Amino acid sequence: MAVEAQATARGVRTSAQKAGLVCNLFRNKSVNEAIAILQFTRKTIARDLGKVLRSAVANIQQSEGFGGDIERLFVSACYANQGPSQKRVRPAPMGRAYRVVKRSAHLTVQVAERPLKIARVAAKPAGDTGRQPRADTAQPRGKADTGPSRKARKAKD
């Protein structure tokens, strides 16, 4: 059974759409590769996602059943949900007012442990597929032999 852990940062001052763009960069990558991607991503939200990712790794290290090998960890899910929006008013010409929406997001990163790869005990030879050709249906590839054509049957009558 694979061990999983997650971390969430709520109310981060960015839009969920901007955070989702960065989440797409490192989803389903190993943890070390994801940290490297976030370190060199030129987006402000990458710093916050890096914190959440490191928190998820710390959470999985504290959970029972963790093997202890960080190299086997990968980002199983990363998403940004929309949080509460602050509505503000900006003065506009001729006594009017424009509405400004200051968005926030909830960032969630889920980390899981890859299962161990177990080597097969008895491997088959490279050319052997294990299937024997059937003698009764040995037709050459192409059109199947369905009998005489319609013209040949009419000529026979």
Q: CATH top-level class for 4-113?
A: alpha beta
| Phi (first) and psi of residue 76, to 5 degrees | -80, -30
For the segment 15-28, what is each residue's pLDDT rounded down to a tens digit?
999 999 999 999 99
Structural contact between residues 35 and 53, judged by C-beta atoms closer than 8 angstroms: yes
**Residue type at position 3:** V
Q: Which residues contact 24 (CB under 8 A, 6 or more apart)?
A: none
pTM of the model: 0.72
Domain limits of the chain?
Answer: 4-113
Residue-wise pLDDT for 62-97, tens only, equals 988 888 888 999 999 999 999 999 999 999 999 999
